[in-house]
Structure 1
Amino acid sequence: MVAYFKGWLDDLRLAAGLLTRLPVPQPDDALPQGLARAQRAFPLVGALIGLCIGLIDRALLGIGIPSLAAAALALGASAALTGAMHEDGLADVGDGFGGGRDRAAKLAIMRDSRLGTYGALVLLVSFAARLSALASLPLAAIVPTLVVAHALARAAIPVLAANMPLARDDGLGASAGQPETASVVAAVIVAAAIALLCLPAKAALLAIAVTAAGAAAIALLAWRQIGGVTGDVFGAAEQIGETAVLVMLAARLS
Structure 2
Amino acid sequence: MIKRELIYFLTAVMFFTRIPIPFKVPYSSEIMNKSQKYFPLIGYIVGAMSVLVYICASYLFSKEIAIVLSIIGTVLLTGAFHEDGFTDICDSFGGGYGKEKIMTIMKDSRIGAYGVIGIVLLLLLKFLALVELAHLSTSLLLITMINGHVTSRFAAATAIYTHKYVRDTDDSKSKPMAQQKPSYTSLLCSLILTIIPYILFDSWLFIIPFFVCYLGKMYLTMYFKKHIGGYTGDCLGTIQQVCEVLFYLTTLTLWKFM
User: TM-score, normalised on structure 1?
Assistant: 0.92
Q: Following TM superposition, by how much is the alpha carbon of 1:60 offset from its aligned partner in structure 2, in angstroms?
A: 1.0
Moved over 6 A (4+): none
Corresponding residue of 1:160: 159
**Residues of 2 paired with 1:121 and 1:197: CA distance?**
37
**Residues of 1 paired with 2:85 and 2:202: CA distance?**
29
2:63 pairs with 1:67: yes
**Residues of 2 paired with 1:173 and 1:97: CA distance?**
19
SS at match of 1:225: helix
2:195 aligned residue (177, 192, 195): 192
SS at match of 2:174: helix
Matching of residues 140-155 of structure 1 within 5 Å? 140-155=139-154
Contact 1:45 1:151 in 2 (8 A): yes
Q: Following TM superposition, by how much is the alpha carbon of 1:27 offset from its aligned partner in structure 2, in angstroms?
A: 6.4
**Residues of 2 paired with 1:53 and 1:244: CA distance?**
17
Change (3 A) 1:89 1:199: farther
Corresponding residue of 2:73: 77
**Residues of 2 paired with 1:220 and 1:18: CA distance?**
26
Q: Following TM superposition, by how much is the alpha carbon of 1:135 offset from its aligned partner in structure 2, in angstroms?
A: 1.4
Contact 2:7 2:26 in 1 (8 A): no
**Residues of 1 paired with 2:207 and 2:22: CA distance?**
35
Corresponding residue of 1:37: 34
Structure 1 window deviating more from structure 2 (236-245 vs 138-147): it is 138-147
Matching of residues 215-254 of structure 1 within 5 Å? 215-253=217-255
Residue segments in structure 2 that go unaligned for 5+ positions in a row: none
Change (3 A) 1:33 1:26: farther
Q: Following TM superposition, by how much is the alpha carbon of 1:30 offset from its aligned partner in structure 2, in angstroms?
A: 3.4
1:127-163 Cα distance to aligned partner (Å, 9 max, x none): 0111011112221222211111000111123210121
Change (3 A) 1:27 1:214: farther
Corresponding residue of 2:117: 121
Contact 1:36 1:180 in 2 (8 A): no
1:69-127 Cα distance to aligned partner (Å, 9 max, x none): 22112111111100001000011111111110110110111111111121122212210
- Paired letter, 2:176: S
**Residues of 2 paired with 1:44 and 1:228: CA distance?**
26
**Residues of 1 paired with 2:126 and 2:214: CA distance?**
18
**Could you say what the CA RMSD is over the residues aligned between the two structures, in angstroms?**
1.6
- Paired letter, 2:146: V
SS at match of 1:172: coil
Contact 2:11 2:25 in 1 (8 A): no
2:170 pairs with 1:173: no
SS at match of 2:27: coil
Matching of residues 88-127 of structure 1 within 5 Å? 88-127=84-123
Corresponding residue of 2:12: 15
How many residues align structurally? 249
**Residues of 2 paired with 1:56 and 1:141: CA distance?**
16
Structure 1 window deviating more from structure 2 (181-190 vs 75-84): it is 181-190
Residue segments in structure 1 that go unaligned for 5+ positions in a row: none
Q: Following TM superposition, by how much is the alpha carbon of 1:52 offset from its aligned partner in structure 2, in angstroms?
A: 1.2
Q: Following TM superposition, by how much is the alpha carbon of 1:167 offset from its aligned partner in structure 2, in angstroms?
A: 1.4
Contact 2:54 2:70 in 1 (8 A): yes
2:123 pairs with 1:130: no
1:211 aligned residue (200, 207, 213): 213
Contact 1:11 1:37 in 2 (8 A): yes
Contact 1:133 1:250 in 2 (8 A): yes
Change (3 A) 1:198 1:25: farther
**Residues of 1 paired with 2:199 and 2:220: CA distance?**
25
Contact 2:88 2:106 in 1 (8 A): yes
- Paired letter, 2:122: S
User: TM-score, normalised on structure 2?
Assistant: 0.91
